[in-house]
Amino acid sequence: MEIKTITTDVLIIGSGGAGCRAAIEVSNQGKEALIVSKGLTFRSGC
């Protein structure tokens, strides 16, 4: 297993409605958000 180090301004856990909205607000403030979700890609809220 390869370990990666990722740098971000804000880490959001969960890609439901609240997580997506949080990412939008972070982006509007000029910051970078990383969303982590247990769901499959394109099957979650965002």
Domain definitions of the chain by residue range:
1-39
Confidence band of 39 (pLDDT split at 50, 70, 90):
confident
**Whole-model pTM over 0.85:** no
Confidence band of 38 (pLDDT split at 50, 70, 90):
confident
Confidence at residue 42, expressed as pLDDT on a 0 to 100 scale: 65
Q: Is the pLDDT of residue 18 over 70?
A: yes
Task: Annotate the chain with three-state secondary structure.
Answer: CCCCCCCCCEEEECCCHHHHHHHHHHHHCCCCEEEECCCCCCCCCC
Residue 12 contacts residue 22 (beta carbons within 8 Å): yes
| Amino acid present at 28 | N
